[in-house]
Amino acid sequence: MTTQANTDVLDVLIVGAGISGVGAAYHLNDRCPDKKIAVFEALDGFGGTWKVHTYPGIRSDSDLYTFGYRDKPWTGPPIATAEEILTYMGEFIEENGLTPLIHYNHKITKAAWSSADKLYTVTYETPDGEQTVRTHFLWMCQGYYDLDKGYTPDWEGMDSFKGEIVHPQNWPDDIDLTGKKVVCIGSGATAATLVPNIADQCDHITLLQRSPTYFVPGRNVNELADELRRLEIDEDWIHTIIRKKVLVDQHEFTARAKEEPEAVKAELLEGVQAFLGEDFDMSHFTPTYRPWSQRIAFVPDGDIFQGIAAGKASVVTDHIDRFVPEGIKLKSGDVLEADVIITATGFNLKFLGNIPFEIDGEAVDWNERLTWRGMMVEGVPNMTFVFGYFRASWTLRVDLLGDFMVRLLQHMDDLGAAEIRPELPAGQRGEPRVSWMDPEDFNPGYLTRGEHEMPKRIARSEWQHTQDYWHEKDALPEINLDSDVFVYEDEQGQPVTKRSADAA
């Protein structure tokens, strides 16, 4: 069903009804009840990535005690299916009265800021045609990649292949893998999920990877949570306790990955080999990079490794030379025969949904500006965005930024400010601007490919996205909203300061 947004001026327009947008709506609706807010979602339902991805076995690679919302206990297994996550989100929406706020089939195509009006005019498409709405503030919550099409490299000879080529993000409902030879290209969480979930249908499936990835296999249970339930502890308490424990464990593991990478590497490989046996060639699962330079996916019950050990699946580490009619020719000269080739090769980064922004008629080039703490952009008025963590659950930042947004909006009201924008202090403007992330610290392919779309950073923690939840959980609540970084203006465009507001 398509609902139509009221065209009156909004206080805050939230863009996206995935895990971030729904969380954002909750914080504002619950704690700023006087604000007029709306959520625009381009799809016909909530869920974002969990709605779009329908490939077999689609599941989280983060535990749901931290990926779930702070204010709604998670009671299922730590690693959850897309269906379980959508059910959880649906309950959250219903329990908190968010349904009337969310407007589906509303695809934003432009956001234009007027300094004279202190408003964004947002253009959007609906099944009834193009429309506009005005809003004082934009909160961009549509994630960080293109939901329309996944990333597939342009390999030589793809047109010659006689079989079917499928990307998991665009999984066809009518695909039949029965008795077919399948090659799945990729080495990340998607490939690790797909392979064991289709192995029984195929004649055989081969995981083809250019380079290995780190995995953490283990039972998909939280024994402490289950014990607390056996003791009939309240679920709110269980949620708080387990959430804190998981976060402490993650923090310690992340620190160890930097401080003693060889020991962590040995532990990870030992966990994988326990499923594959002593005779397995572990070079297929031994990456060349330091643990946590890229995401480490949890593999419930080691399912992909069980499939390999049982002979239902195999793994090949090599480079693709080209596609041929019967399959894939490798650099080694071998040919992998296939009826179906699955390209689990990642996604395309899409900063703020690639929505064109204008400020007083001039287009905004994100790559020319700095990010302020990975949630605002230098010189861009009344706009925040959600970009989560690579080494911790995305939703942790949704809750932190929800707290920040509530505090910021209340502060603007107290000041009588109609506009806020972060500006680099004069003494820092000559400092070198570098890429969004340090490639020595974190270097996944999608970020490397999409770096040109992202804002830049300088060597100051507040002018970059530190990716450190364990620092931000304490630092973000302490942000000084009267810092020299922030420029406030009233409806007439006059500067507003804390001192002048107090005097008034």
> What confidence tens digit (pLDDT) does each residue in 163-210 have?
999 999 999 999 999 999 999 999 888 999 999 999 999 999 999 999
> What confidence tens digit (pLDDT) does each residue in 363-382 have?
999 999 999 999 999 999 99
pLDDT at 503: 46
Tell me the C-alpha distance between 320 and 314, whole Å: 17
Model pTM score: 0.93
pLDDT at 390: 81
Coil/strand/helix, residue 85: helix
pLDDT at 4: 43
pLDDT at 389: 86
3 pLDDT above the threshold of 70:
no
Question: In the predicted model, what is the mean pLDDT of residues 309-316?
Answer: 92
Domains and CATH numbers, the chain: 10-147+350-503 (3.50.50.60), 152-222+254-345 (3.50.50.60)
> What confidence tens digit (pLDDT) does each residue in 250-304 have?
999 989 999 999 999 999 999 999 999 999 999 999 998 888 887 888 889 999 9
Beta carbons within 8 Å of 255's beta carbon, 6+ residues apart:
none
* Residue from 502, 496, 484 nearest 418 by CA: 496
pLDDT at 33: 96
Of the chain, the percentage scoring pLDDT greater than 70 comes to 97
Beta strand extents in 167-241 (DSSP E only)? 181-185, 204-209, 215-218
Beta carbons within 8 Å of 470's beta carbon, 6+ residues apart:
247, 251, 392
| 430: Cα within 13 Å, side-chain hemisphere | 1
pLDDT at 27: 98
Tell me the C-alpha distance between 245 and 65, whole Å: 10
Residues facing residue 162 across a β-bridge = none
Identify the band that residue 499 occupies on the pLDDT scale cut at 50, 70 and 90: low
pLDDT at 143: 85
Identify the band that residue 5 occupies on the pLDDT scale cut at 50, 70 and 90: very low
Identify the band that residue 7 occupies on the pLDDT scale cut at 50, 70 and 90: low
Residues facing residue 421 across a β-bridge = 487
CB 131 within 8 A of CB 7: yes
pLDDT at 452: 87
* Cα 77–chain centre separation: 21
pLDDT at 502: 53
> What confidence tens digit (pLDDT) does each residue in 95-139 have?
999 999 999 999 999 999 999 999 999 999 999 999 999 999 999
Beta carbons within 8 Å of 196's beta carbon, 6+ residues apart:
57, 303, 304, 306, 307, 313
Mean pLDDT taken over the chain: 92
Of the chain, the percentage scoring pLDDT greater than 90 comes to 79
Handedness of CA 194, 198, 199, 204 (dihedral sign): negative
Question: In the predicted model, what is the mean pLDDT of residues 135-163?
Answer: 93
* Residue from 34, 35, 43 nearest 15 by CA: 43
> What confidence tens digit (pLDDT) does each residue in 314-330 have?
999 999 999 999 999 99
> What confidence tens digit (pLDDT) does each residue in 27-75 have?
999 999 999 999 999 999 999 999 999 999 999 988 999 999 999 999 9
CB 316 within 8 A of CB 417: no
CB 407 within 8 A of CB 473: no
Handedness of CA 334, 338, 344, 348 (dihedral sign): positive
CB 108 within 8 A of CB 42: yes
CB 449 within 8 A of CB 151: yes
Tell me the C-alpha distance between 119 and 483, whole Å: 23
Question: In the predicted model, what is the mean pLDDT of residues 475-482?
Answer: 96
Question: In the predicted model, what is the mean pLDDT of residues 133-155?
Answer: 92
Q: At 81, give phi and psi (nearest 5°).
A: -75, 165
Q: At 451, give phi and psi (nearest 5°).
A: -55, -35
Tell me the C-alpha distance between 375 and 397, whole Å: 10
2 pLDDT above the threshold of 80:
no
Please report which helix (H) or strand (E) contains residue 351, including its range. none
